[in-house]
């Protein structure tokens, strides 16, 4: 299911469930990233120690640190040797809500609505218990929950009408125009989809 062009695989991921350490999240928003032909990709300038998982082929996990404090999680979908990444931007916690809430609160008692538990890539990774140590790992088979790795439960494809598309969040196109790469896909009308922020002239 994951093997293929990021732009084709990303919308097919919508509605599937990502399982991670006692919490499961139904994916409602995904962004597609390529490699050498995508200035918004971490792999735009080639393979590094950090981006190596993006070149390892479909079924691998690429996790990275952003803003010095948050982890985000991608699923790799291309062939080995060709960089790709599907940033899992948002989802609905469908199992393990109490554990997700405990992880999100991180010692505080602030109120967090259920729809916000995995609304945004950093929140989603935190709810699932993803860390940088997951980068480079392979997705585990769905029937092997004892393995300490992420697992993907594939859902039937959504109808074309159920999927919305638009520019990626915070990623400008080649000329500073975010509309140049409308490679974000989400379930239309779903309340867990993250808030869109206009693109700026910087790389992801």
Q: Which residues contact 146 (CB under 8 A, 6 or more apart)?
A: none
Q: Give the torsion through C-alpha atoms of 75, 85, 128, 89, to 10 deg.
A: -130
pLDDT at 69: 75
Q: Specify the pLDDT at position 68.
A: 66
Residue pLDDT, tens place only, 93-105: 999 999 999 999 8
pLDDT tens figures, 140-186:
999 999 999 999 999 999 999 999 999 998 886 654 444 568 999 99
Closest CA to 39 of 174, 184, 187, 139: 174
Dihedral sign, Cα of residue 98, residue 104, residue 105, residue 107: positive
Rounded CA gap, 23 and 152, in Å? 12
* DSSP assignment string, 65-133: EETTTEEEEEE--S-TTS--EEEEEEEEEEE-HHHHHHHHHTT------GGGTTBSHHHHHHHHT--GG
Residue identified by tokens 């609304």 is 119
Angle (nearest 5°) at CA 141 between 80 and 92: 95
The structural domains of the chain, with segments of one domain joined by +, span 6-187
The yes-or-no verdict on residue 201 having pLDDT over 60 is no
From the CA atom positions of the chain, what is the Rg in Å?
16
Alpha carbon distance 188, 158 (integer Å): 11
**Total-model pTM:** 0.91
Domain 6-187 in CATH 3.40.50.720: no
Percent of the chain with pLDDT over 90: 75
pLDDT in tens, 8-67: 999 999 999 999 999 999 999 999 999 888 988 988 988 898 899 999 999 999 999 987
């Amino acid at each position: 299911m994951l093997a293929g062009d990021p732009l084709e695989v990303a919308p097919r991921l919508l509605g599937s469930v990502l399982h991670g350490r006692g919490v499961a999240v139904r994916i409602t928003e995904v962004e597609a990233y390529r490699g050498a032909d995508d200035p918004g990709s971490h792999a735009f300038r080639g393979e590094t120690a950090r981006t190596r998982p993006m070149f390892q082929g479909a079924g691998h996990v690429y996790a990275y640190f952003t803003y010095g404090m948050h982890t985000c999680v991608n699923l790799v979908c291309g062939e080995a040797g060709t960089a790709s990444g599907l940033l899992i931007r948002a989802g609905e916690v469908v199992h393990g809500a109490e554990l997700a809430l405990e992880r999100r609160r991180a010692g505080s008692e602030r109120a967090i609505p259920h729809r916000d538990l995995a609304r945004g890539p950093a929140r989603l990774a935190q709810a699932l218990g993803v860390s940088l140590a997951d980068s480079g790992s392979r997705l585990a088979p769905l029937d092997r929950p004892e393995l300490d790795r992420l697992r993907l439960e594939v859902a039937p494809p959504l109808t074309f009408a159920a999927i919305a598309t638009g520019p990626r969040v915070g990623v400008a196109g080649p000329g500073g125009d975010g509309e140049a790469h409308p490679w974000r896909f989400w379930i239309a009308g779903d309340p867990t989809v993250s808030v869109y922020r206009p693109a700026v002239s910087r790389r992801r």
